[in-house]
Structure 1
Amino acid sequence: MKATEETLKNIRKKQAFIIDMDGVIYHGNVLLPGAAQFVDWLRRQKKRFLFLTNSSERSPEELSQKMARLGIDVGPGHFYSSALATAAFLANQKPNGSAYVIGEPGLIHALYRVGYTMNNINPDYVVVGEASSYNLDTLIKAVRLVIGGAKLIGTNPDLTGPGEGGLVPACGALVAPIELATGRKAYFVGKPNPLMMRHALRTLGATREETVIIGDRMDTDIIAGIESQIETVLVLTGVTARQDLPKYAYAPDHVLEGIFEIPEAIEHTPDEAAAGKM
């Protein structure tokens, strides 16, 4: 069921776009339909845009390179991840602290850049992100360090994420056993934490009223927009299906089958039309 023209008109008139990646632009290493055309439309219409991802695995440079491999040229300045948000939060909380990290290079490098050191003996924090290295040994180590006094931080609360073969466990699922074993609750920095949304608006130089957030998750993307008073667009190409919507006490402003619906009705900017570039 495609969106109405009125819905698409409301989305297209926004000047700033906050866009999730997994489930919106791609699944794993597979580009979703219309993603390249959407980014081209953003540029042609001179929109401001920022890819805001709860994934902590890759740096902005790596995310830019991944998009390039998928056929979309977007510079590193258009990306902000939960890894960067986590590093900024910890640097503010305890400058030049130390952490035991269960995560990928994107998270580790983000922490190094703000002056953090890696510490598996007596760290200030145990920081958990998506991690292929997650196993029983790392779990036991994390539990013992948290019981010993380290504070528990999760890069994002997502329980699952979309992969090429279906859903995969995400950060929230990896943190849960540590919480259960220690009786301590993690603090999650990624969406829907307002820290991420405020950074996005500052980066875009935009007000809430002229911005829209596009995502595939009700419990992170959509609730983040609602709590930040930013108009929300749910796309059904990720983890949320239309039949899931009644399960939630809140609703997105708009629901699209996919990102491909947004650019199709506008072909040229006013400047191009006036110049006769048809």
Structure 2
Amino acid sequence: MSDPRPIETWLTDMDGVLVHEEAPIAGAPEFLQALKDSGRRFMVLTNNSIYTPRDLRARLLASGIDVPEESIWTSALATAQFLADQRPRGTAFVVGEAGLTTALHEIGYVITEREPDYVVLGETRTYSFEAITRAIRLVEAGARFIATNPDVSGPSVQGTLPATGSVAALITAATGSTPYYVGKPNPLMMRSALNRLEAHSETTVMIGDRMDTDVKSGLEAGLRTILVLTGSTRPHQVETFPYRPTKVVDSIADLVDLVAERSPRVDADDD
């Protein structure tokens, strides 16, 4: 194998890498500042479809982390881009919040309950039984079933919350129709972020805290991957997966000096 090419572009997950809920992870502000100082392009990715990039920027700023709005890429935006490519200016019935409805409106979609082209399921903290029932009936009537991401649960201060994947499973059980998931681990989300940055996979690295989403989707999109151990995947779990990241580090703080290098490279960890 040839030596890896220098890193020109960085993709990073948000929760578990930069923040835990509202609390910043040590080293995250310094890492982002190093990226800005280096002049390299970057994008913060999240499967969270609840918030718009503007909302997420405000939430991150409250945690002391400054990410430009245009450098945030959500599963809602990726889903909207996918639908715009598949069926321009179509119609959809949406179960979700402002992050998803705003993204669909911005690509020219009409949100309707009347014979929609798609049922689009996203994340919300207030899933409505009435809305889920309506989604089931529309899927049964022939609407194509799309979901922003397959995450079955999410964290909160009070404990675990059901997420998009759990509600999708409910609709699938009722209809027999499985949704097409756009967000991670679908490499489509990575590729859409690369396209937005006009970047190449061979010179891009993905940083994440989950082997089953971040590392998997980065690997399948042809990126080098870095796993940080500040989130979901614990150290003893890494070797249980049939694939491995290019590199494993304790936290994002371990990457600040690497970003600051003139021609940074990520070499595979030794066995």
TM-score normalised over the length of structure 1? 0.86
Q: Does structure 1 residue 77 correspond to structure 2 residue 70?
A: yes
Structure 1 spans left out of the alignment, 5+ residues: 1-9, 271-278
Aligned residue pairs total 260
1:182 CA drift (Å): 0.6
- Contact 2:50–2:96 under 8 Å retained in 1: yes
Q: Which moved more, 1:104-113 or 1:63-72?
A: 63-72
User: In structure 2, what is the equivalent of residue 148 of structure 1?
Assistant: 141
Q: Compared with structure 1, are the counterparts of its residues 47 and 167 closer, same or farther at alpha carbon in structure 2 (3 Å cutoff)?
A: farther
What is residue 54 of structure 2 aligned with on the other side?
61
Instruction: Indicate the SS of the match to 1:232.
Output: strand
After the TM superposition, which parts of structure 1 deviate over 4 Å for at least 4 consecutive aligned residues? 164-167, 264-270
Q: Does residue 182 of the first structure (1) align with residue 175 of the second (2)?
A: yes
The answer as to 2:119 corresponding to 1:126 is: yes
Which segments of 5 or more consecutive residues in structure 2 lack a partner in the other structure? 264-271
Residue 164 of structure 1: CA displacement? Answer: 4.3
Alignment match, 1:7:
none
Tell me if the contact between 1:214 and 1:234 (Cα under 8 Å) persists in the aligned partners. Answer: yes
Matched, 1:36 2:26: no
> Closer, same or farther in 2 for the Cα pair 1:139/1:196, shift >3 Å?
same
From the superposition, tell whether residues 173 and 64 of structure 1 become closer, same or farther in structure 2 (CA, over 3 Å). Answer: same
Whichever residue aligns with residue 258 of structure 1, its letter is S
What are the Cα deviations for residues 227-278 of structure 1, in whole angstroms up to 9, with x where unaligned?
11100011122211112223321111111221111115787879xxxxxxxx
**Partner deviation per Cα, 1:43-89 (whole Å, 9 max, x = no partner):** 22222211111111111222222222222222211111111111111
Identity %: 43
Aligned residue among 90, 94, 103 for 2:96: 103
Residue 100 of structure 1 aligns to a residue whose secondary structure is: strand
Residue matched to 2:241: 248
| Contact 2:149-2:182 at 8 Å conserved across structures | yes
Partner Cα distance (1:167, 1:235) in 2:
22
SS of match in other structure, 2:131: helix
Contact 1:100–1:120 (8 Å) recurs in 2: yes
CA deviations on 1:136-170 (whole Å, 9 max, x unpaired) are 22222211111111111000122233444554332
Is the CA contact 2:24–2:65 (under 8 Å) kept in the aligned structure 1? no
Contact 2:187 2:218 in 1 (8 A): no
Give the partner amino acid of 1:224: S
- Cα 1:149–1:253 change in 2 (3 A) is same
CA gap 1:94/1:155 in 2 versus in 1, 3 angstroms: same
The alpha-carbon deviation at position 127 of structure 1 amounts to 0.7
Question: 2:81 matched to which residue of 1?
Answer: 88
Other structure's SS at 1:262 match: helix
Aligned residue number for residue 4 of structure 1:
none
Distance in 1, matches of 2:87 and 2:262, equals: 47
| Structure 1 position 263 matched with structure 2 position 256 | yes
Cα distance change on mapping 1:26 and 1:132 into 2, 3 Å: same
Note if contact 2:35-2:260 (Cα within 8 Å) is conserved in structure 1: no
The equivalent residue for 2:269 is none
AA in 2 matched with 1:200: A
**1:157 counterpart = 2:150:** yes
SS in 2 for 1:138: helix
Which amino acid letter does the alignment assign opposite residue 253 of structure 1? T
Q: What secondary structure, in the 3-state scheme, does the structure 1 residue paired with 2:202 have?
A: coil
Deviates more, 1:31-40 or 1:61-70: 61-70
**What is the RMSD of the two structures over their aligned residues, measured on CA atoms?**
2.2
